Amino acid sequence: MGTEFSKKLAAHTTPIPGVVLYDLPVHGDNRGWFKENWQREKMMALGLPDFRPVQNNISFNEKAGTTRGIHAEPWDKFISVATGRIFGAWVDLREGPSFGAVFTAELDPGQAIFIPCGVGNAFQTLEDNTAYTYLVNDHWSADAQGEYTFLNLADETASIAWPIPLEEAELSDKDKANPRLADVVPMPRKRILVVGADGQLGKALRKLYDGDSAVEFAGRAEFDLGSDASFGARNWQNYSTIINAAAYTAVDAAETPDGRRTAWAVNVTAVARLARAAVEHNLILVHVSSDYVFDGTRATHEESEPVSPLGVYGQTKAAGDAVVSVVPRHYILRTSWVIGDGSNFVRTMASLAERGVEPSVVNDQVGRLSFTEDIAAGIRHLLTTGAPFGTYNLSNDGEPQSWADIAAEVYELTGGARTAVTGVSTAEYFKDKSAAPRPQTSTLELGKIAAQGFHPPSAGTRLRDYLGRDVRTHPEDAGVGPSR
């Protein structure tokens, strides 16, 4: 059967998630034929992941009936036929609900197929002198074979209808000895690494992903962002994503000489290390930012607003955002007024209310609370839905409030009187105090993330839930800024 000429480039999904079959345009005449075997721009436009191949391999097979596989390898592959014809068989050997799914197809030079890491690959040649070629996105080594997952070509569960019966085909002894599906240990999913996992957001992510073996949590003791050894000790090929939940958030202390140095080290230099790892290993980098990258002069802040930070903390967060933005696969989540499991404004107000204190609270800074459980849920939503990469605002929804409004609400919800809270201006509150400048308006526009199907609940609803739980309060300065 000859190759069909002049087909249009097209992509076809298969029963195995992530496995995509492509029709390739092949142009032929009396001299032979020509094709663009892999064309990054055109194929990415059809949905092919930018898997960044680093090695091209060719398997030449002298006789029809040569059968190889089924091997699941720890890298992605883009497979095509240079000459001849094959029967290809693919079995999902990844951990997860699609384990054991099978897809088969005949391929000639007019087709190609993308095979994600962990999907078992096999082929049988249907013509003599068949050359089978594949691009891979990691360098092959003998040591890497220890990370393969294998399945027997004759497995009864997969029940592959080989055109040439296996007893008549050419197989290696090694392939004949591979295990049946019931004895296969699935290839683990690539992991998500959460760094800064001991802070408020880190704790929320721990709770959200509790029991998920594909998510690894690292506090400073497990992963020091300032240490080359932390980065060198990881086999990044085993990861798909880094979530950066670490940050220096002491807004006022950042204005001091020591605080300034620490803020730049944690919020910029460490982020640059993460960005470099993400670029080198084609990882997704999720980074959490802040409303403090804006000067607060607009009524609401959209993702496209130019950054204009007022103080050192905001400057370091803006610089960190700029670093992350050059990572091809990134999500920057801009939050405001973060509340979670740790010292924060709501806990301070609840503690003051319990002790009968009547505080003065700033009433000319306006924004919305961002509860860490919803920031964590938003991160997971973007990752699981494969939302377009870029910057997203993510706070809770509802009417914007001042810090004094929120404090009064906390007092009322904990059995106190709203009138116990006195509103004062920022200037009055910080009179004769050393303090960083703060944006007057921190309200984030949420339309972009809503368009991706994520709708955070109102801050008021979350505040009632938060105070309704058994929350230990922590006395602290009522002028608390952002904290993660």
Full-model pTM: 0.85
Which pLDDT value is given to residue 259? 96
Half-sphere exposure of 118 (CA within 13 A, CB side): 20
Q: Mean pLDDT in runs of 10 for the chain (484 residues)?
A: 75 95 88 88 90 92 94 94 96 95 96 95 96 90 73 96 96 95 93 95 96 93 90 89 96 95 96 95 96 96 97 97 97 97 93 94 96 98 96 97 96 94 94 91 97 96 87 42 42
Catalytic residue among 71, 287, 301, 381: 71
Instruction: Tell me, yes or no, if 281 is annotated catalytic.
Output: no
Cα distances from 371 to residues 28, 340, 397, 406, 446, in angstroms, run 61, 6, 10, 13, 15
- Catalytic, 22? Answer no
Neighbours of 299 (CB within 10 A): 10
Where is 10: in which H helix or E strand? strand 10-13
The full set of domains in the chain, from first to last, is 10-183 (2.60.120.10), 191-468 (3.40.50.720)
CA-to-CA distance for 212 and 358, rounded, in angstroms?
44
Distance between CA 35 and CA 205 in Å, rounded? 47
How far is the C-alpha of 63 from the C-alpha of 128, rounded, in Å? 4
Which of 134, 239, 411, 429 is the catalytic position? 134
What pLDDT is recorded for position 98? 95
Q: What is the pLDDT of residue 143?
A: 65
Closest CA to 346 of 252, 459, 433, 458: 459
DSSP 250-308: -TTGGGSHHHHHHHHIIIIIHHHHHHHHHHHHT-EEEEEEEGGGS-S-SSSB-TTSPP-
| Predicted local distance difference test score (pLDDT) of residue 473 | 43
Q: What is the pLDDT of residue 472?
A: 45
Residue 476's pLDDT is 43
DSSP string of 424-455, one letter each residue: E-HHHHTTTS------SB-PBP-HHHHHTT--
